[in-house]
Amino acid sequence: MNNRQLMDSWFQRVWVDQDMSAIDQIMRPDTKATGLDDAPQITGAEFRGFAEALLAQVTFQKAAIVHFCEDAGWAHMLVKFAGTARAGDAPCVFTAQIMARIVDGKIVEAFNHPDYISLFQQLGTLPPDLIARCLSGTRTA
């Protein structure tokens, strides 16, 4: 399996199929992943808790790699996620830019930049005009 196929499998199995066993099969326990939550980084062993928390908010019907390139063991991709909010069934679509270093068919390091503002606006947990408020200097808290 090449790295593109591995990442396609990762997004399908973890996010769409909600197959938590895929985490242990595709990510090493000592993997360092940044950009997912408030922690500076989480390990592969901690990733399951993150995935379960996000999947408690949204059901994904699709996770598709829109752009993909590789360089020196790193896979760089733009991924588009489409799903439905668990509370209220509202549709949601957001993107994430991800860099993953892959060694021997396993993710060993990842830098994640998901568009959480868009996602959480669609889920109703952030105001729809959040960016306009922030740009105007208005406090949102």
Average pLDDT over residues 87-109: 95
Number of domains observed in the structure of the chain: 1
User: Using only C-alpha atoms, what is the Rg of the chain?
Assistant: 16
For 20-79, how does the pLDDT look when each residue is reduced to its tens digit (9 = 90+)? 999 999 999 999 999 998 888 999 889 999 999 999 999 999 999 999 999 999 999 999
Q: Which domain holds residue 68?
A: 3-136
pLDDT attached to residue 64: 98
- Is 103 in a helix, a strand, or coil? strand
**Domain presence at residue 102:** yes
- Residue 102 is classified by DSSP as E
Q: CATH number for the domain including 13? A: 3.10.450.50
Structure tokens at 90: 């509202």
Residue 88 is given by DSSP the state T
**In whole angstroms, what is the distance from residue 51 CA to residue 132 CA?**
29
1 or 108: which carries more pLDDT confidence? 108
Q: Are 49 and 79 in contact (CB under 8 A)?
A: no
Q: Is residue 79 part of a domain?
A: yes
Mean pLDDT score of the chain: 94
Domain membership of residue 66 (yes or no) is: yes
User: What are the helix and strand counts (H, E) for the chain?
Assistant: 5, 6
Pair 35, 50: CB distance under 8 Å: no
In a domain, 141, yes or no: no
**Reported pTM:** 0.91
> Given the structure tokens 């021997």, which residue do they identify?
104
Is 141's pLDDT higher than 80? no
Burial class of residue 36 (count of CB atoms within 10 Å of its CB; 0-12, 13-18, 19+): buried
